[in-house]
Structure 1
């Protein structure tokens, strides 16, 4: 038997076991008006935060419902899709929210994929806001991609409304960004 066939068979067996897990295996995730059914085993296996939640709290007391705060319904749906597939959904305009959800639920793989999506989607208009996000949250690879982008397009980026808004609303972060930009400029000379 081929190695890739073994992996597929193992994954299929693991997922097939969920079919016979019984009614206690299913939970309902609730975020606002969104309600999504999911398997406890999948959530616990993929996310240390869900695993801890299931260990500490009795789902019987909540009727099998888990309230998910700080995550909007559409983002929860994407998060759940990731937990089952390990592929970050590409839904325009939601990578930042999905990145925050990845942090909240301890999903480094999703975090990396979201950082890659945000880096790939950088534009002159979004560079300042993305830099603030990356620096504020210590997203190292996104920070580096954003700095590289801003260096390559500095005059255009610094002429945007986003740049001036970032200075107005996040002066400390922008000070750090300026320091990083000038440090890189000095190092490359």
Structure 2
């Protein structure tokens, strides 16, 4: 039987539920978070085939100690342990690999990823821990049956480079979770949008547009002169794909490339105390409305302007060394730190000597410690490079520091 009263009640409830679902206003917010710290290490075992041919049934090798360069676990010490012909309990013909938590003030939650680095500098035979484990001081975890050592012999032309086995490990340490105190913020009642974040995104967008359309409103020109060994048609303006308005000129007589950027004094001065000093008083730059730069590449200045206007650099890995010098020169602290972190992650056999000299010249203690640690672990390979003889061997103090660090190991 039809009941109009019951029907009306049902409609009213549905209407109320609809209103409630759209009411998304917040009076306060808190956040629970935990931080993951990642660091990596490479261990090179020379004359690796001799361990496979050794008559001893069980051979144990250990890497030198290594530690994270930053984070709460910076005081912890770790090392890799390798059994080229397998550990006790390993299946026949398998190499075993383990990570040992040597020393630390407390237990840590961590997991590891292992790989071999082949001749092409590619990671192969990647094995990962399935989940985080609690490491107590002295604990060892890894893979008993990591890879058949017969396979290493078969892949000698690819996996072993000059009979060197390169073992790479990446360790992820998990901090304890922290709940921050409650914060009171205003959110959009309809969509829950944080207008502070939305406003910052809009600010970056607008300044990006200002950076790419500076011709009408700019009041300062930045002229960058780059000496060239030979002028190249590939350096022409049309192939540069720059958003910042610029002009380029080449002087065949002096083999010099000249690139010009338009910018705004007020923005430059707000972001860099060095640039601010140029526009204060009767300086040449203030009188001519021109900044001349002869010690940095045009692409580096382009990246610097990108950071000044937007707070970020899209291609920081492409010019890290020079961008670090640029950031230090103009006292752009956040950019310097970004470049420093990128340098720490890009240290290699060929680049380590130049990075060491850079860290010494610009008094970067953390970067210097990191690169010296790398050089000590790869001493023979690094000291054989052209970069070592070009950047370090002629600086006695740096050579002494490397020797002292090697002795401490």
CA separation of 1:128 and 1:58: change in aligned 2, threshold 3 A: closer
From 61, 81, 95, give the equivalent of 2:287.
61
Q: Is the 8 A contact 2:222 2:290 kept in 1?
A: yes
Cα 1:167–1:14 shift into 2, 3 Å: closer
Instruction: Check if 1:151 corresponds to 2:151.
Output: no
How far did 1:176 drift? 2.1
Q: Give the corresponding residue for 1:78.
A: 303
Paired with 1:167 and 1:25, the residues of 2 have a C-alpha distance of: 43
TM-score normalised by the chain length of structure 2: 0.39
Pairs within 5 Å for 1:52-131: 52-56=277-281, 57=283, 61-62=287-288, 64-90=289-315, 94-131=319-356
Query: How big is the shift at 1:83?
Result: 1.0
Partner Cα distance (1:13, 1:132) in 2 = 37
The secondary structure found in structure 1 opposite 2:262 is strand
Shift of residue 119 of structure 1? 1.6
Question: Quick check: 70-79 or 23-32, which moved more?
Answer: 23-32
Matched-pair contact (CA < 8 Å) for 2:324–2:336? yes
Using the TM superposition, give the Cα deviation of residue 160 of structure 1 relative to its aligned residue in structure 2, in angstroms. 3.1
Name the CA shift for 1:29/1:162 in 2 (closer, same or farther; >3 Å). closer
Deviation at residue 36 of structure 1 after TM alignment: 0.2
> 1:28 aligns to what?
221
The 2-side partners of 1:124 and 1:97 are apart by: 19
Indicate the structure (1 or 2) with the bigger Cα radius of gyration: 2
* Root-mean-square deviation over aligned CA pairs: 3.1
Whole-angstrom distance in 2 between the partners of 1:145 and 1:105: 24
1:137 positional shift? 2.4
- CA apart distance, 1:168: 3.4
Other-structure match for 2:78: none
Distance 1:60 1:114 in 2: 29
SS at match of 1:55: coil
* Unaligned ranges ≥5, structure 1: none
* Cα distance between partner residues in 1 of 2:390 and 2:291: 37
For 1:171, the equivalent position in structure 2 comes to 396
Alignment coverage as a number of residue pairs: 180
1:153 to 1:73, Cα distance in 2 relative to 1, 3 A: same
What TM-score, normalized to structure 1? Answer: 0.77
| CA shift digits 1:73-106 (9 cap, x unpaired) | 2221121111112223425552221111111111
**Higher share in strand:** 2
Distance 1:169 1:127 in 2: 15
Assess, with a 3 A threshold, how the Cα gap between structure 1 residues 126 and 26 changes in structure 2: closer, same or farther. same
Separation of aligned partners in 2, 1:111 and 1:39: 22
